[in-house]
Chains A and B, each alone.
Chain A
Amino acid sequence: MKINKARKYVVDNLKYALNPSSIAVVGASRYPNKVGYKVIDGLKKWGYKGTIYPVNPRADNVYGLKAYKTVKDIPGEVDLVFIAVPAHLVKMVLEHSVEKKVKIVVIATSAFKEIGRGELQNKLTQYCRDHELPLIGPNLVGMGSPYLNFNCGFIPYLPVKGPVAMISQSGANLLAALGTSQMSHLGMSFFVGLGNKADVDFSEFIAYGGQDPNTKCLALYFEGLDSPDALISACQSVVPKKPVVVIKVGGSKIGVKAAFAHTASENEGLNDAYFDEIFAKAGAIRATTWQEFLDISLALGMQPPLKSDRVVMITNGGGSGLLSCDHFERSGMPMHELKEISVGLSGKIQAYMPMFGSPLNPVDIAGTASPVHYKGAFMQAFCDPNVDGVYGSICPTAVTDVEAVVDYAIEIYDKYKHLGKPFVMECQGGQECHDAIMKLRDHGIPAYPTPEQAVNAIVALRKYAKIKANFSK
């Protein structure tokens, strides 16, 4: 339901959704394959230290914990109520939660507006609003944070720690992002599924993420947007400090219908230009594909904004250099020749390449480049005051010691990161390249397996610099 701006009582209470000292799991089950069991299992397995109260009127114990018939019967205070019972019981649970004065409720249950029960969903939402009880969901998968060892929902794993707050309407895509986090070291600060987002809105999680010390970038997956004004105002407050990346789906002819059936998102009659305008006003960076969404979120979370388009690319592969410079141009940010960026730089870098290398830009230090060549070239690029960003690329030839290059890249980055110049890497190849990417990411350097992904990341860093400048005025 629509809001005009992020509500203070909601933003203040969101901490209870991600760091509650007590949780009531309504619909807690004794059966390991049921959702209500998995919620408690996830909490326990990932190290939640607070108090868990299973609620199940049929059971005396669940997961070895005393079970209660209703939320009202719980003796202690309850911060968060996680609801995993059928839709027809949710109203009663909300009433009990209000009576119990809980801080926030999360409804995992489906079968509300998305199946035509919009009126019921709105009634329940209004009830919660009347009692200032923030409601997340319904129809969601859960939430959590690796920093707090908190995994609440039916989510198989936590992401690795990192800078990106992932806020998604889709549970499946949220899980996909968490899986990517595990596999590809895309670090997250917290994650939350919003589902139908009946009450708690994107804008409120943006405001929360703005205050969260572990969050450096907010990544938002939209299927629909009920409250554009609230989004714009929340983003405008946050973007001077932290970038916001968005992806909006459900724009195709059949996607409009699919988005409604999935999370009751209403897109009828709204074209893409409408959303472009809103996101531009908000100062959010819009990604088109899921991969781009993840890639640029990672870069924006890890690296400072790119002050200008004076980026130097150091590569041992001419091909990746060409793919990169073409994609930069397609993306509206053509590369500059080295001599245009800095008069003496070309000569300095040439000291670290064979005679058949190319000091243009991309700087091709050739397939025979040793780790020392990379080190020298990176160092020259970082130290040149006219260079605002460094882009490294490794192509694993038979003589390339990928691991050693990566170690030097990390060393140089650590040494010069105080200069505030973004550093992005690309490593195109097999297992050694995958390992290199993981290692670089673990050290705060966004690294990618293709030139286009790396270029998208750099372009996003430049876009954010412009947004930051604009909204800081």
Chain B
Amino acid sequence: MTKEKEKTEPTPTYLLGSDEQQKWMQKYFFAPRGIAFAEPGIVALDNPKMSALNITKSSYQIRPEVFNLNWLSEATKVKKEELKKRLLRLYDEHLIILVLNGSVQVEGFGLYYWIVKLREGTSPKIKKEFGDWYQNKDEICSSWETEGDFDFFNGNHMRVLDNLIWNVIMPLGQRPEVEYVHLCPIRRDIREDWLNMPDAPGGMYRQYSWGEEEEKNLLKCQDKLDATDIKIIKAINQKRPMKDYFDFKVLAEISGLDPKDMEEGIKDLIESKRIVVPLIYMNWQKMGLTHKMYLIKLSQIIPSWRKAEIADELAAIPEFNLVLEFTDSFYDIAVRACNQTTNVEKLLEKIQSYTEVETVKQSNMVKQYRRWVDRLDDHNGFWEESIFTDDFLQDYTVRKEEK
């Protein structure tokens, strides 16, 4: 082929979820970085294709039959009326929230986490002050207070890293009580709250997996959920086709929209394009649970393919209810397991059995402020207030008084 001819070849086109998409996505589904909604195949969160999920998110609090109760009843052997009653109770007692995990990286954001370490001897009052700030800072979409090697673990989506640094990291990071802030940009979002996310390897995407003993242990260590409640939550989060997830007739009854259109739209977005993942989040704080988080630093000579393999191998352990792979960070992988329902020491041993592991930082997650843009602070009256922020066309580095 001559150079002239090469120049006239059309640029290959692709859509997410199509046969033409990048080969490497077939293994890891690394999210391509889109520029806002210009990425081929991307739709905005209020697109009609998202209707089924948006209707459900807005009405499951009063109409739990938006979930496919026929399927759930069959899967759990609980009658539909009982299912409805329980789902309403679980919501009213603030034990569950339906979370929509968006693939923000596909939509043009970077997904960043960071840990904050306060200096030895920092008073609880100061730590609370930090906590209150994180709780109320809308640009932080996921946020935890921890105890141990570090004091906070937060996360957010930003299109411009400088905006994160200037608007979120620096305001508190420069305070004298802070020993360090370490950024952990996400390379792969593999699992959150037991549910596998778009970057999970192979066919694990959307699988909801618990460790063998976890359910039994959960029943022993708390009194908010009984065995039936747990069965229902596990069933809702179980991977299955969209027709079994939602009741499209109910969604049509609520909205007046076409059930077929809604089903096709959401199927495309969740099953094929992996743009969004629905999840029933269990409010573990309310249940008196805590989590042990392990922040793993691999030796710097470990190549990235091996790092990805180790992340995959850890993701194969169902007791880890959170698995994140980082890039350009002091840390490479974060995993988390529930203190009350798993053997966290044994899990640590497993991590440390990898010769590639250099250090592991450990902290207990004792409080969660937000779960993917949903506020969790019912004590402040903000239960499930959803705040999705976007720094599109924003420059937070310019201080107002200097303009």
> Across the interface, which residues of B come within 8 angstroms of A30, CB to CB?
381-382, 385
Which of chain B's residues 258-289 have a Cβ closer than 8 Å to chain A? none
Q: B54 to A31, Cβ gap below 8 A?
A: no
Q: B55 to A88, Cβ gap below 8 A?
A: yes
Which of chain A's residues 166-221 have a Cβ closer than 8 Å to chain B? none
> Across the interface, which residues of A come within 8 angstroms of B63, CB to CB?
92
Q: A88 to B58, Cβ gap below 8 A?
A: yes
> Across the interface, which residues of B come within 8 angstroms of A120, CB to CB?
256-257
Given contacts A58-B61, A58-B385, A91-B255, 9 further A-B contacts (CB under 8 A): A30-B385, A58-B383, A61-B381, A88-B55, A89-B254, A91-B256, A92-B59, A92-B255, A120-B257
Q: What's the Cα separation between A59 and B385 when bound, in Å?
A: 8
| 0/1 interface trace, chain B 16-59, chain A, CB 8 Å (1 if under) | 00000000000000000000000000000010000100110011
Answer yes or no: A69 CB below 8 A from chain B CBs: yes
Residue on B with the closest CB to A115? B48
Q: A89 to B256, Cβ gap below 8 A?
A: no
> Across the interface, which residues of A come within 8 angstroms of B244, CB to CB?
none
Chain B interfacial residues counted at CB < 8 A: 20
Our pick among B54, B55, B62, B384 for the contact of A69 (Cβ within 8 Å) is B62
Q: A59 to B255, Cβ gap below 8 A?
A: no
Answer yes or no: A70 CB below 8 A from chain B CBs: yes
| 0/1 interface trace, chain A 66-110, chain B, CB 8 Å (1 if under) | 000110000000000000011111111000000000000000000
Give chain B nearest CB distance to A31 CB in angstroms.
Answer: 6
Answer yes or no: A57 CB below 8 A from chain B CBs: yes
Q: B381 to A89, Cβ gap below 8 A?
A: no
Q: A85 to B257, Cβ gap below 8 A?
A: no
Our pick among A57, A70, A88 for the contact of B257 (Cβ within 8 Å) is A88
Q: A85 to B58, Cβ gap below 8 A?
A: yes
Q: A89 to B387, Cβ gap below 8 A?
A: no
Q: What's the Cα separation between A390 and B58 when bound, in Å?
A: 61
> Across the interface, which residues of A come within 8 angstroms of B46, CB to CB?
86, 111
Given contacts A123-B256, A124-B256, contact A89 B383 (CB under 8 A): no
Q: What's the Cα separation between A70 and B387 when bound, in Å?
A: 22
> Across the interface, which residues of B come within 8 angstroms of A90, CB to CB?
255-256
Q: What's the Cα separation between A88 and B48 when bound, in Å?
A: 9
Our pick among B54, B253, B256, B387 for the contact of A86 (Cβ within 8 Å) is B54
Which of chain B's residues 159-205 have a Cβ closer than 8 Å to chain A? none
- Would you mind naming 6 contact pairs between A and B with Cβ atoms under 8 Å apart? A30-B382, A31-B385, A57-B61, A59-B385, A86-B46, A88-B257
Which of chain A's residues 13-37 have a Cβ closer than 8 Å to chain B? 29-31
Q: B385 to A89, Cβ gap below 8 A?
A: no
> Across the interface, which residues of A come within 8 angstroms of B255, CB to CB?
87-92
| 0/1 interface trace, chain B 368-389, chain A, CB 8 Å (1 if under) | 0000000000000111110100
Answer yes or no: A60 CB below 8 A from chain B CBs: yes
> Across the interface, which residues of B come within 8 angstroms of A70, CB to CB?
62
User: 10 closest A-B pairs (Cβ-Cβ)?
Assistant: A57-B61, A88-B255, A91-B256, A58-B384, A92-B254, A88-B55, A120-B256, A57-B62, A69-B62, A89-B58
| 0/1 interface trace, chain A 110-129, chain B, CB 8 Å (1 if under) | 01000000001001100000
> Across the interface, which residues of A come within 8 angstroms of B55, CB to CB?
88-89
Residue on B with the closest CB to A60? B381
Which of B62, B382, B387: most chain A CB closer than 10 A? B62
Q: What's the Cα separation between A31 and B374 when bound, in Å?
A: 13
> Across the interface, which residues of B come within 8 angstroms of A57, CB to CB?
59, 61-62
Q: What's the Cα separation between A91 and B63 when bound, in Å?
A: 14
Residue on A with the closest CB to B382? A30
Given contacts A88-B254, A120-B257, contact A59 B61 (CB under 8 A): no
Q: What's the Cα separation between A30 and B381 when bound, in Å?
A: 8
Given contacts A69-B62, A86-B46, contact A91 B385 (CB under 8 A): no
| 0/1 interface trace, chain B 47-84, chain A, CB 8 Å (1 if under) | 00001001100110111000000000000000000000
Q: A88 to B385, Cβ gap below 8 A?
A: no
Q: What's the Cα separation between A86 and B47 when bound, in Å?
A: 12
